[in-house]
Chain A
Amino acid sequence: MTLALTAPRRARLDPSWPILIAFAAILIALIVLPMSWLAYFSVTDKTGALTLDNFAKLVTDPTFVDPLITTVILATSSAIICCVVAAPMGWLVARTDMPLRRTIRALVTASFVTPPFLGAIAWELLAAPNSGLLNQLYRGIIGDPGAEPLFNIYTLPGLIFVISCYTFPYVFVLVANALDRIPGDLEDASSILGGRMWVTARRVTIPLALPAVLAGALVAFLQAMTLFGSPAILALPAGFHTMTTKIWSLFQYPPKPELAAAASIPLLVLTVLLLRAEHMILGRRSYAVVGGKQSNPRLVQLGGWKWVALGLAMLVLMNPVFLPYGALLNAAFSRTASQFVSLTNFTLHNIEFVFFELSATKLAFKNTFILGFLSATIGTIIAVVISYLTARRAIAGWRALAFLATAPVAVPGIVLGVGLFLSYTRPPFVLYGTLWILLIAFVTIALPAAYQQLQAAFRTVSVDLEEASRILGATRLQALSHITAPLLRTSVIATWCFIFVGVIRELSAAIILFTSETKVISVLIFDLNESGDLGAIAVLGIIMLVITFAVVVAINRIPGFGGGVRFRS
């Protein structure tokens, strides 16, 4: 595969056609090829003969049916919890005079960028039934060391809780952004006409925000359904599988890629159906943004209740941020991860181990940075070009490009991992064992969100400027690089950082595709968890978070992009 993008500038010919073909080819390599292999493998047996046995096994074998049911329960519950928690919080932040609103947004961003698998490990430290710090505190408070645990994280409800912790930001941001954009005039009109606060909320605000809540529910459902790390960490000790862990287990010896391919199909189909449903419910776009000249929304005065609201918001944020980070810090410096740090058990051993003994550390960091940098750069370039071509409808076939760029949204990470594994472990393209295969995975996973962001950004730049440049003799590429690119700088940098952060926390595709030479930090942490090395995980996890926050803070320092991380709308 070639990723060369440097179309010859001195050529007189407008190079848009070769570019279109090149990008279509890239997108086919990213998506069409792996999905085709996936479909092919799902209907073949070990000898390559066509069969439907894999699917028959899927619907009759309880070891497949149970995980499917578990996954649906898990995803539905998480989606509901996320909406119940995040929608009111989004409203509080966007529409009330609750104090510390910016801080709350920043903390939600922190929970968004926290890798869910790291959160799951931290919650093991907090709420494992016997050694969990919270359970120990509880037993200490009631003075009964033998009491039944207050929390047991190794259960389906425990898993739902942890997944919700790191999924609710999706709903929160969608709702808060939608409420930010609902013009205050509509609410003003309602109150001028005599509507009281509750009437206004019921007849104006809530209906306008509802599409965002629904969209959030769907995103949360999809996230919960396709996560791999959290269920692998919390469900397996409890003795049950979800679809993602089941698919992953089929890659253990003796590997059964045909069954893995077949087991991926339900996830794929469900995702496509849900995205269609979202599309139907929301129409072409959220009507929350409709409105002419916008006035700043009127903030609801909560009076004394604002402190209650702040308390509740902070209570919610304890779960994804304060408690887990505290548990990781504690484990990093404690001789035994389940004991609170004190003078007697304080240790720097874990830090020493990670930096001076663990020989995989350097390689994993190097790979992660190379992949983060390349994925972000290549992903941004692809997204810029495609969103330009589609936003300007610059060439025939732009619809197909737009479709291909958005299509990966429907492919869960682990399914993509399986597809890429099947495509690139055999000739003619043997990329397994190289960073390329991970690069393809990460770019593909990041592309839809990157494309959506930049597509939106392109709409804000008037086409007149480019046309002026072209009239003066510039080619399309020149117009793009001299006129449009500088205007879009902020969005482009934001997209780059967004992909970079996404790569650092990616586990579900990497876990299928890594080899010893191409290990990344997320996989290293997962490995360490399987052998129970919690101290080393805590240190690596904290480093990972520090890097992530440095990148997020850098985005927020860019002038004109102060709103925190934004994604799919």
Chain B
Amino acid sequence: MPNLTRRTLLQGTAALGGAAFATRVLAAAPPAEPVTPALIEAARKEGKVVYYTSIDLPVAEKIAKAFEAKYPGIAVRTERSGAERIFQRIGQENSSNIHACDVANSSDAAHLIVWKRDGWLAPYLPEDVAKHYPAEHRDADGMFASFRVTLSVIAYNDTLVKAEEAPKSFADLLEPKWVGKIVKAHPGYSGTILTATYQMARDLGWEYFEKLARQRIMQVQSAADPPKKLALGERAVMADGAEYVVLQQHESGKPTTPVYAREGTPLIVGPNAVFKNAPNPNAARLFQSFCFSPECQQLIIETGGMRSVHAQAKDKPGRTPLKDIKVMKDDAAAVEKNSEEIKAHYTRIFRV
């Protein structure tokens, strides 16, 4: 049973990883850092900041524009791809001694565990994070904090599907009437989907995905893409994908409606971090502070359709509040341990 030994071995190394995560890196948490004129001045001298992010491109560029408007003279360049691609890219660039990334946002919180463990992150605690973020949403050593909370939801095109006929649960998606009508994103590309796949495989079992694969799904890459395929009318239902894109589209008059599955909806935490070898260290810190400011958090809620854990953030009326949604438990440490296996298992089932 070579499989068994390999799995045992995998768990062994993963346990070590978990232990490293639990270990505090610094003796004391770094002090909260306010935005000072000196920081702004130093950032302006650097003139730019490079933001690696897995946030859907239009939203990411809106954050960038808001920062540029607030701090003229500092250009933001967003490097957007799927979280798993970003992770691979940062790893590859680091091993070739290329340090291009100032601030990164990942929809796979496990990445932050790895980066912190490898000593790639800079401790930096923005004032807002210290004052207004719950302890479970900020790293004890000030290396990262939850920039955004999002959901991976089921959704449907409401011109193609009547509300009463829409799926209410993941189990409903296995009905024969959805054969050839489902679109879903890929955990090898998207951190949102990797996280969601972990939670669903844990709570529903891999058999669920085996059955789903028989529904002749359309396989796209980004979690932001299934909602767009719904809006095009290309597929009637999405099995997973970013709630925030569904909400944005819904509110701009496109026919997409989210469904919060009876079994629970996967919850995705997307932290931000400053890199230790950031080419623009001051601009990086200024940008990180901006990201957690009430104005930026309100922006990602209002126009981004995301959720915020900032204590002062206000929900947008008309959306289902997070507390009313049954969510699956997020567990970044477990995703970190199982990431490779999840991707391999998924590829075996869905063939790509």
Kindly state whether residue A128 has any CB partner on chain B within 8 Å.
Answer: yes
Question: By the criterion CB–CB under 8 Å, are B84 and A239 in contact?
Answer: no
Which A422-463 residues sit within 8 Å CB-CB of chain B?
425, 430, 432-433
Kindly state whether residue A563 has any CB partner on chain B within 8 Å.
Answer: no
Of A252, A353, A527, which is within 8 A of B88 by CB? A252
Question: By the criterion CB–CB under 8 Å, are A530 and B225 in contact?
Answer: yes
Question: By the criterion CB–CB under 8 Å, are B84 and A363 in contact?
Answer: no
Q: Which residues in A have their C-beta under 8 angstroms from that of B75?
A: 359
Kindly state whether residue B79 has any CB partner on chain A within 8 Å.
Answer: yes
Question: By the criterion CB–CB under 8 Å, are A360 and B88 in contact?
Answer: no
Q: Which residues in B have their C-beta under 8 angstroms from that of A240?
A: 351-352
| Interface 0/1 of A497-538, CB less than 8 Å to B | 000000000000000000111000000000110111110100
Question: By the criterion CB–CB under 8 Å, are B350 and A359 in contact?
Answer: no
Of A129, A154, A252, A531, which is within 8 A of B56 by CB? A531
Question: By the criterion CB–CB under 8 Å, are A252 and B96 in contact?
Answer: no
Kindly state whether residue A311 has any CB partner on chain B within 8 Å.
Answer: no
> Can you list 9 residue pairs at the A/B interface with Cβ under 8 Å?
A154-B218, A237-B219, A241-B351, A253-B91, A358-B61, A430-B96, A432-B92, A433-B98, A528-B57
Question: By the criterion CB–CB under 8 Å, are A432 and B225 in contact?
Answer: no
Question: By the criterion CB–CB under 8 Å, are A530 and B340 in contact?
Answer: no
A244 CB to nearest chain B CB (Å): 13
Kindly state whether residue B82 has any CB partner on chain A within 8 Å.
Answer: yes
> Are A359 and B221 CB-contacts (below 8 A) given A336-B232, A515-B100, A516-B100?
no
Question: By the criterion CB–CB under 8 Å, are B81 and A530 in contact?
Answer: yes
Report the Cα distance A239→B221, complex, angstroms. Answer: 12
Of B76, B188, B351, which is within 8 A of A359 by CB? B76
Q: Which residues in B have their C-beta under 8 angstroms from that of A357?
A: 58, 61-62, 65
Kindly state whether residue A261 has any CB partner on chain B within 8 Å.
Answer: no
Question: By the criterion CB–CB under 8 Å, are B89 and A516 in contact?
Answer: yes
Of B64, B80, B188, B254, which is within 8 A of A252 by CB? B188
Kindly state whether residue B290 has any CB partner on chain A within 8 Å.
Answer: no
> Are A338 and B232 CB-contacts (below 8 A) given A516-B101, A531-B221?
yes
| Interface 0/1 of A296-316, CB less than 8 Å to B | 000000000000000000000
Question: By the criterion CB–CB under 8 Å, are A531 and B88 in contact?
Answer: no
Q: Which residues in B have their C-beta under 8 angstroms from that of A128?
A: 232, 234
Of A131, A249, A253, A425, which is within 8 A of B234 by CB? A131
Question: By the criterion CB–CB under 8 Å, are A531 and B219 in contact?
Answer: no
Give the residue name and chain of the B residue nearest to A433 (CB): B98
Report the Cα distance A2→B85, complex, angstroms. Answer: 33
A81 CB to nearest chain B CB (Å): 25
Question: By the criterion CB–CB under 8 Å, are A531 and B52 in contact?
Answer: no
Apart from A432-B96, A516-B50, what 18 extra A-B contacts exist at CB < 8 Å? A128-B234, A130-B233, A130-B234, A236-B221, A237-B219, A238-B218, A239-B219, A239-B351, A240-B351, A240-B352, A425-B96, A433-B98, A433-B100, A515-B92, A516-B52, A527-B81, A531-B221, A533-B57
Q: Which residues in A have their C-beta under 8 angstroms from that of B138?
A: none
Of A131, A249, A353, A531, which is within 8 A of B232 by CB? A131
Kindly state whether residue B276 has any CB partner on chain A within 8 Å.
Answer: no
Report the Cα distance A251→B219, complex, angstroms. Answer: 19
> Considering the complex of A and B, which 3 residue pairs feature the smallest CB-CB distances, nearest first?
A532-B225, A532-B228, A253-B88
A457 CB to nearest chain B CB (Å): 40
Kindly state whether residue B189 has any CB partner on chain A within 8 Å.
Answer: yes
Question: By the criterion CB–CB under 8 Å, are A359 and B64 in contact?
Answer: yes
Report the Cα distance A358→B219, complex, angstroms. Answer: 26
Report the Cα distance A432→B65, complex, angstroms. Answer: 30
Report the Cα distance A293→B218, complex, angstroms. Answer: 60
Which B209-267 residues sit within 8 Å CB-CB of chain A?
217-222, 224-225, 228-229, 231-235, 254
Q: Which residues in A have their C-beta under 8 angstroms from that of B52?
A: 516
Kindly state whether residue B295 has any CB partner on chain A within 8 Å.
Answer: no
Q: Which residues in B have their C-beta under 8 angstroms from that of A515?
A: 89, 92-93, 98, 100
| Interface 0/1 of B340-352, CB less than 8 Å to A | 1001000110111
Give the residue name and chain of the B residue nearest to A253 (CB): B88
Report the Cα distance A129→B57, complex, angstroms. Answer: 26
Which A519-566 residues sit within 8 Å CB-CB of chain B?
527-528, 530-534, 536
Q: Which residues in A have their C-beta under 8 angstroms from that of B220?
A: 237, 530, 532
| Interface 0/1 of B65-102, CB less than 8 Å to A | 10000000001111111101101110111011110110
Question: By the criterion CB–CB under 8 Å, are A239 and B234 in contact?
Answer: no
Report the Cα distance A63→B350, complex, angstroms. Answer: 11
- Chain B count of residues within 8 A CB distance of the other chain: 56
Q: Which residues in B have their C-beta under 8 angstroms from that of A338?
A: 232-234
| Interface 0/1 of A65-85, CB less than 8 Å to B | 010000000000000000000
Q: Which residues in A have their C-beta under 8 angstroms from that of B100?
A: 433, 515-517
Give the residue name and chain of the A residue nearest to B101 (CB): A516
> Are A516 and B79 CB-contacts (below 8 A) given A131-B232, A236-B352, A430-B96?
yes
Kindly state whether residue A255 has any CB partner on chain B within 8 Å.
Answer: yes
| Interface 0/1 of B305-325, CB less than 8 Å to A | 000000000000000000000
Report the Cα distance A353→B57, complex, angstroms. Answer: 10
Q: Which residues in A have their C-beta under 8 angstroms from that of B229?
A: 131, 532
Of A237, A337, A360, which is within 8 A of B78 by CB? A360
> Are A253 and B80 CB-contacts (below 8 A) given A130-B235, A515-B93, A532-B225?
no
Kindly state whether residue A18 has any CB partner on chain B within 8 Å.
Answer: no
A339 CB to nearest chain B CB (Å): 9
Report the Cα distance A128→B220, complex, angstroms. Answer: 13
Kindly state whether residue A254 has any CB partner on chain B within 8 Å.
Answer: yes
Question: By the criterion CB–CB under 8 Å, are B222 and A532 in contact?
Answer: yes
Q: Which residues in A have their C-beta under 8 angstroms from that of B97?
A: 430
Question: By the criterion CB–CB under 8 Å, are B232 and A251 in contact?
Answer: no
Report the Cα distance A305→B220, complex, angstroms. Answer: 46
Of B218, B224, B347, which is within 8 A of A531 by CB? B224
Q: Which residues in A have their C-beta under 8 angstroms from that of B57?
A: 358, 528, 531, 533, 536
> Are A353 and B58 CB-contacts (below 8 A) given A239-B352, A252-B88?
yes
Select the residue from A128, A425, A430, A516 with max chain B CB neighbours within 10 A: A516
| Interface 0/1 of B134-161, CB less than 8 Å to A | 0000000000000000000000000000
Q: Which residues in A have their C-beta under 8 angstroms from that of B340?
A: 254
> Are A131 and B189 CB-contacts (below 8 A) given A63-B347, A251-B88, A515-B100?
no
Report the Cα distance A410→B328, complex, angstroms. Answer: 52
Q: Which residues in A have their C-beta under 8 angstroms from that of B96?
A: 425, 430, 432-433
Q: Which residues in A have their C-beta under 8 angstroms from that of B347?
A: 63
Question: By the criterion CB–CB under 8 Å, are B84 and A252 in contact?
Answer: yes
Which A245-295 residues sit within 8 Å CB-CB of chain B?
249, 251-255
Report the Cα distance A66→B348, complex, angstroms. Answer: 13
Q: Which residues in B have their C-beta under 8 angstroms from that of A249?
A: 188, 352
Give the residue name and chain of the B residue nearest to A426 (CB): B96
Give the residue name and chain of the B residue nearest to A530 (CB): B221
Question: By the criterion CB–CB under 8 Å, are A255 and B88 in contact?
Answer: yes
Report the Cα distance A504→B141, complex, angstroms. Answer: 46
Report the Cα distance A433→B98, complex, angstroms. Answer: 7
Question: By the criterion CB–CB under 8 Å, are A337 and B232 in contact?
Answer: yes
Q: Which residues in A have their C-beta under 8 angstroms from that of B93?
A: 433, 515-516
Give the residue name and chain of the B residue nearest to A431 (CB): B96
Q: Which residues in A have their C-beta under 8 angstroms from that of B254?
A: 336
B44 CB to nearest chain A CB (Å): 18
Question: By the criterion CB–CB under 8 Å, are A241 and B352 in contact?
Answer: yes
Question: By the criterion CB–CB under 8 Å, are B233 and A252 in contact?
Answer: no
Give the residue name and chain of the A residue nearest to B217 (CB): A239
Question: By the criterion CB–CB under 8 Å, are A530 and B58 in contact?
Answer: no
Select the residue from A363, A527, A534 with max chain B CB neighbours within 10 A: A527
Question: By the criterion CB–CB under 8 Å, are A531 and B225 in contact?
Answer: yes
Q: Which residues in A have their C-beta under 8 angstroms from that of B224?
A: 531-532
> Are A531 and B80 CB-contacts (below 8 A) given A154-B218, A336-B231, A338-B233?
yes
A132 CB to nearest chain B CB (Å): 8
